[in-house]
Amino acid sequence: MASFKTLGQADVGGKRVLVRADLNVPVKDGRVTDATRIERFATTVTDLLMRGAKVIVLSHFDRPKGKRVPEMSLRPIAPALAKAIGHDVVFADDCIGEAAETVVESLKPGQVALLENLRYHSGEEANDKDFVKALAALGDIYVNDAFSAAHRAHASTEGLAHVLPAYAGRQMQAELEALTAALEQPRKPVMAIVGGSKISSKLDVLNNLAAKVDVLVIGGGMANTFLNAQGINVGKSLCERDLADTARAILENAKRNNCDVFLPTDVVIADGLKEGIATAICPVDKVPSDKMILDVGPGSVQALKAMLNVCKTLLWNGPLGAFEIKPFDEATFSIAHHVAALTKAGTLVSVAGGGDTVAALNGAGVTDQLSYVSTAGGAFLEWMEGKELPGVKALGG
């Protein structure tokens, strides 16, 4: 992990502080429907306000591709941000130029401005030098608090860090420290749970983890591909049969690195993915040809819990079954509650991330009971793949 300066090391009193946030949150009918990211970001803004900074918030919203798209304006986000920080937020109709300059110049210490969508300008995603210069003219200090955008080498995530004194925000710092604790400097034994529908989207993740963790648990639809690769009939389940050789190569990689791979030994089957449908539990090698595997069975869940009891660190990305439809949420929710209990007891450091994982933990009601839950999507996945993130690297100078 790159070394970086933290917000606590910055002298921000009276300074114009450009803070890169990720305020790309769900909005319906002009109202924010999930303010989780905004509420987490509030910690950094509050810190800066208490120390007398002039706070200028930068963010993207959706993908306007360099054009002004009214429905992709950040304006509806301003009231939600104001509520989260308990301070008024002034909105600027652009992120550079006269509209932005006028708002920034009017700021007094302890005040906040939110600038319009960065991606209204093509220079943002192109990391254009002139666009970076125009943004930098608005501030004295740069703070990146958007880990979820750190895998993009954009003007506001990478470019600004090279032209202004750069620091990690409170949320960025917490994320990086949690991820380092989970995979780079973990308490052992380390378990990783990787679920989801297809291994084709997580090849790099699986290979990287197989070389770093002690136990690799494979769940969700991708487990079917591994079972099939071992000659087990998975019926009409979701399965990437053309990736059997790839699955076997991952298993060999794990073996070379003394990583134990956990696959289900019993499964929940049904005719299809439908709520209220009749289900049955069977050994994994007894799946009828006309049935689908839709969840991990209770025997496998108990075995997994026993393994978790001796692990010290857990990294979790992806559900064990089709958790969106009852009763195929049972395995994921059961493991989630067990992980929460072990975390509370202080025997397990638990770090989870990815959209489906967060949704599953929310469904189980345990999101705030794990050590750390990342709301980042692509950045979290690329970190799990072992890739260097441009937005993080830039903070190292």
pLDDT value at 7 more than 70? yes
What φ, ψ does residue 190 adopt, rounded to 5°? -110, 130
| Candidate list 66, 378, 386, 393, residue with the active-site label | 378
* DSSP of 158-212: IIGGGTS-EEE-HHHHHHHHHHIIIIISPPSSEEEEE-SS-GGGSHHHHHHHHTT
pLDDT confidence tier of residue 137, bands split at 50, 70 and 90: very high
Reading the block at residue 311, the tokens are 């692990």
Residue 389 one-letter amino acid: L
Residue 53, helix vs strand vs coil: coil
The pLDDT assigned to 396 comes to: 83
Instruction: Tell me the C-alpha distance between 136 and 140, whole Å.
Output: 8
pLDDT value at 81 more than 70? yes
The pLDDT assigned to 184 comes to: 83
pLDDT confidence tier of residue 42, bands split at 50, 70 and 90: very high
pLDDT value at 355 more than 80? no
Mean pLDDT, all residues of the chain: 94
Is the bond preceding residue 327 a cis peptide, omega within 30 degrees? yes
CA atoms within 13 A on the CB side of 171: 28
The pLDDT assigned to 200 comes to: 85
Q: Residue 72: which residues within 8 A CB-CB, separation 6 or more? A: 61, 62, 63, 64, 117, 119, 120
Of 34-43, 281-290, 342-351, 374-383, the least confident: 374-383
Give the mean model confidence (pLDDT) for residues 337-347. 98
DSSP character at residue 238: -
Give the mean model confidence (pLDDT) for residues 340-355. 94
| Candidate list 75, 198, 236, 312, residue with the active-site label | 198
Reading the block at residue 13, the tokens are 């009193």
Give start and end residues of each alpha helix (H) in the chain: 36-50, 77-85, 97-106, 122-126, 129-136, 170-179, 203-210, 220-229, 244-256, 298-310, 330-345, 355-364, 378-384, 390-393
pLDDT value at 150 more than 60? yes
Give the mean model confidence (pLDDT) for residues 60-70. 96
- The CATH H-level superfamily of 7-171 is Phosphoglycerate kinase, N-terminal domain (3.40.50.1260)
Give the mean model confidence (pLDDT) for residues 54-65. 97
pLDDT value at 385 more than 70? yes
pLDDT value at 356 more than 90? no
Of 44-58, 87-101, 158-172, 379-393, the least confident: 379-393
CATH of domain 186-384: 3.40.50.1260
Percentage of residues in the chain having pLDDT higher than 90: 85
| Candidate list 15, 16, 20, 37, residue with the active-site label | 37
Compute the chain's Rg from CA coordinates.
23
The pLDDT assigned to 3 comes to: 76
**Is 378 an annotated catalytic residue?**
yes
**Is 355 an annotated catalytic residue?**
yes
DSSP character at residue 7: G
Is the bond preceding residue 189 a cis peptide, omega within 30 degrees? yes
The pLDDT assigned to 57 comes to: 98
Residue 218, helix vs strand vs coil: strand
The pLDDT assigned to 338 comes to: 98
* Helices 330-345 and 355-364, packing angle to 10 deg: 80
Percentage of residues in the chain having pLDDT higher than 70: 99
260-316, pLDDT tens digit by residue? 999 999 999 999 999 889 999 999 999 999 999 999 999 999 999 999 999 999 999
CA atoms within 13 A on the CB side of 192: 26
205-254, pLDDT tens digit by residue? 999 999 999 999 999 999 999 999 999 999 999 999 999 999 999 999 99
Reading the block at residue 268, the tokens are 């929940």
Every domain range in the chain assigned CATH 3.40.50.1260: 7-171, 186-384
Instruction: Tell me the C-alpha distance between 135 and 121, whole Å.
Output: 11
Candidates 135, 149, 165; CA nearest to 41 is 149
How many residues belong to the chain?
397
Q: Residue 163: which residues within 8 A CB-CB, separation 6 or more? A: 132, 133, 136, 142
| Candidate list 355, 363, 377, 386, residue with the active-site label | 355
Q: Is-contact 327 333, C-beta < 8 A? A: no
The pLDDT assigned to 198 comes to: 85
Burial of residue 118 (number of CB atoms within 10 Å: 0-12, 13-18, 19+)? buried
**Is 198 an annotated catalytic residue?**
yes
pLDDT confidence tier of residue 97, bands split at 50, 70 and 90: very high
The pLDDT assigned to 397 comes to: 56
The pLDDT assigned to 2 comes to: 57
- Who wins on pLDDT, 156 or 204? 156
